[in-house]
Amino acid sequence: MSGEDKKLGRVLIIAGSDSGGGAGIQADIKTVMALGGYATTAITAITAQDTTGVHGAWPVALDAVAAQIQVVLADFGADIVKTGMLGTVALIETVAEGLGDMAGEVPRVLDPVMVATSGDRLIEAKAVDVIASLLLPDAALITPNAPEAEIMTGKAVDGINGQRRAAEVLLNRGAKAALIKGGHIPGRVLIDVLQTQHGEWIFEAERIETTSTHGTGCTLASAVATLVAQGVDLPEAVERGRTYLRGAIRHAPGLGKGHGPVAHGWQLGDQQN
C-alpha cells in the first residue's frame, strides 16, 4: 500500500487510564499516533499508578462510558475498536451493549487486561466469564499473555504447545484470531503464537533483557489494531507491531523505580532501531 493510499486508521480505545503514562489509554494513544492512526477514547477507569504498581483505581460511571462510546462512534466512526481494562461485569455489559448498538460490524481487538505487570489484579473473577460470553465471540483478535490465557482457557500455558492449545480454545469459543504472547514464559527466545481460522504463525525473537516492560501488552495490541485499521493483513500487522514494540523497548527512557515505560515515539525522532 503506497503512502498516498494508506488509510488513516480510526481506533476507538476503550480502556483505563494510567497516571504513569506507560500503559492503558496513555500507551494506546501514543502507539496509535506513532503509527499514523487516529485515536478516540472511552475511559473506563482512573488509576493511581506508577512503575511500582497500582496504588488505587476508581471506575468511571457506566453512563459516562456509554456516552463516550456513543458520541465518538456517531461523529468520528471507527475502523477498529481496541478494548483494554474492563474490570467489572457491569462495565463489560455496558461496553458490549454500546458496541452492539453502534459498531456491530466494526472489528474488535480484545486485550484482556487482567493482571498488571506489577502483579496487581485488575479484574473481577466473575468478569472473565462475561468477557468470554459477550466480547470474545466474533472478536477479530484477542491478545492474552500466558497468565491471561491460562485464566481464560483453564489450560497450562508454559510453552509453545500450551500457547497453541489456548489459541485453539479461544478460536473454538468464537474469536476469529488469537495471539498468545510468550513474554511471561521463561527462555532466551520469546515466542508469540498467532492462530486464525486460516492458519498459524509463529513469531520468534531474542528476549530483550530489561525492566522496561510496563504497558508492553497494551502497546502491542494497539499497534496491531492500528495497522489492521489501516488495511494491513493480520499476520503482517502482528509482525510489524512486534518490531515497533521491540524498538520501543530498546529505546526505553529508563524512568521510574520499577517496571518502566517504553519509548512509544522512538520512530518519530532521529533515533534508529
Cell 501514543 -> residue: 30
- 77: Cβ–Cβ under 8 A, 6 or more apart, which residues? 10
Q: Is 260 exposed, middle or buried (0-12, 13-18, 19+ CB in 10 A)?
A: buried
Q: Where are the beta strands (DSSP E) in the chain?
A: 10-18, 38-50, 53-59, 80-83, 108-110, 141-142, 177-180, 189-196, 199-206
Q: Confirm whether 210 is a catalytic residue.
A: no
Query: Are 69 and 95 spatial neighbours (Cβ–Cβ below 8 Å)?
Result: yes
Instruction: Give ∠ CA 223-228-234 in degrees, rounded to 5.
Output: 95
Q: Confirm whether 217 is a catalytic residue.
A: yes
31, 40, 47, 213: which one is catalytic? Answer: 213
Q: Confirm whether 213 is a catalytic residue.
A: yes
Query: Are 32 and 38 spatial neighbours (Cβ–Cβ below 8 Å)?
Result: yes
Q: Confirm whether 231 is a catalytic residue.
A: no
- Dist CA 177 CA 199 (whole Å): 9
Q: Confirm whether 218 is a catalytic residue.
A: yes
16, 40, 181, 182: which one is catalytic? Answer: 181
Dig out the grid coordinates for 21 from the structure.
Answer: 503514562
Report the run of H or E that residue 227 belongs to, with start and end. helix 216-229
DSSP for 11-41? Answer: EEEEEEEETTSSSHHHHHHHHHHHTT-EEEE
98, 215, 241, 260: which one is catalytic? Answer: 215
51, 143, 218, 219: which one is catalytic? Answer: 218
Report the helix count and the strand count for the chain, using DSSP H and E.
8, 9
84, 98, 162, 217: which one is catalytic? Answer: 217
β-strands 80-83, 108-110 pairing? parallel
Q: Confirm whether 155 is a catalytic residue.
A: no
40, 41, 51, 216: which one is catalytic? Answer: 216
Residues with a known catalytic role: 181, 213, 215-218
